[in-house]
Structures are given as structure tokens and as C-alpha cells.
Structure 1
Amino acid sequence: MEQLRCQVGFCPAETEQGYVFLAGAAEYASHRAGEPVRTAQPPVCLKHLRPALELCPHLRRGHVAFRARATSVWGVIGSRYRLTATGLEPLPVEDDDAPVAYGHPQLGWFLASQLIRELRDYEVANLDDLVPAA
């Protein structure tokens, strides 16, 4: 994710028009137009775009492709901890998977499991425009 490599083949994912990121249709439905998109999913190269859809059950139920020309590291997903009299203690599980932005004051008490990228200057893309059907 940090190096923007394809989530399927680990090859460089950059295309002539930026990077392609996939999201579930339900995730996109809650997105407000014009706002940045935040994702923990690495990009996909054009060669592995269709295999990514076939391999992921979440994406088979519906998906959206974003073609992003500008993307930056935004923060992380993981587990929060607190200091107690007996040492570090994880906070309740319901706090897991809440994204924390870089620069957040509690980031030092956080064990990251996934990197979050923010997509700006992006468009929703039609898969057939990206990769013709086989």
C-alpha cells in the first residue's frame, strides 16, 4: 500500500492515468460526491483488475472503481491501547477498525494493522473503459 503496488500481483500499479482502487458498492453508496475517498485497499494494476474482482467475495457482490490521479497516505486502522497501573491494555474491540489520521494526538497509543490512503483528484471509472472484456 505504501509503495502503491498491485494488491494481486505486487507489481507496480500505476497506469498512464493514475491508480485504480476498488471499493465495495455499499462503501461507495455512503460516500458524498466531491469528498476525498479513504481506503485501506491497495491499488490494482490493469492486468489484475478482473482477477481482483473474481478473487474477492466482497467485490463480487458489487464494486466501484476509482481512477485516482492524486493520492496520499492519510492514517492507519488498528487497535488502540491505554496505559494502566499494570501496563498497556487494549481498548474495547468496538474501537478497532476506526481510522486514525497521522498527526492525531493518540497515534502513539495505537498498534496499526492497515495503512489508509486518501484519494483526491479521482473519478469513478467504468471497468470496461479500463480493461476490455476478455
Structure 2
Amino acid sequence: MSSLPMIPELLRQLFRTPATNKFPAKYLPPSVTKYLEKVGRGEATLNPPIAIPPKFRGKISYDRDGCIGCSLCVKICPSNAIELIKETKRIRIWVDQCIFCSQCTDICPKGGLKMTGEYLLADENRYSENLIVE
């Protein structure tokens, strides 16, 4: 009997529209996209973003030339986001699978993997260039 008061609220929620905007920017309301166009023309300015804290763990950067192909990062990655490309002895990082734990950067003997401050990584296509680091 205690769940009965929840049923009317559940039915109301089923027919409401979402309260959030869709992502990416092409789905933003016209008021926002027109403002961004003004920013692009130099007629308006954006407030600077909040400073990224020290030791922030954002998207991984990969130094291909410094990589020796030891595959330690592949072995230690808890989310299996890193794969070794055997032909070239290089790695591929699937950013959409990464949990940003930084274990790969800690174990890399040559320092070829580093965490960056990049955090706006959302994309509609999991195979886009933004979500694959090679």
C-alpha cells in the first residue's frame, strides 16, 4: 500500500517532456545558437571556464614516437580501453571506455601517456576521432 501514492506521479512523468537540452550543440535552442554565432563574429564574449584543478585526469594524450610497444598499459587498464596494434607496436585508446584512473600513465616506462585537461568529450559517434587516441 505504501507505493500507491507514487503511481500518479509515475503516470505524470511518463507524459512530460525532458527538462534538459539535448547534446551536442546542434540541438541547442535558437536563443543559445544565435548567441554562439554572435560570439563567433566577435559581437559577444563568453565567460572564461572554471580553471581545471591540478592533477586533473582528463582525456589521455599519447606520444606515438616515445612508445616502445611494451603493452604494460594494455595489461594494467581495468576497463580494457587500450588495445595493442601488433603490426605497428603502438596502442589505440578508446576514450569512451576509459574510466580515467590514470594507471596507464603511472606504469608507462617512457612517459608516453599523460592525462590532459580536456574534459568535453561527449559525442554521438563512439568511433569519432575525438574518442579514439592513436
TM-score, scaled to structure 2: 0.23
TM-score, scaled to structure 1: 0.23
Structure ID, larger Rg = 2
Q: Which has the higher contact order (CA 8 A, sep 6+)?
A: 1
Q: Which structure is higher in strand share?
A: 1
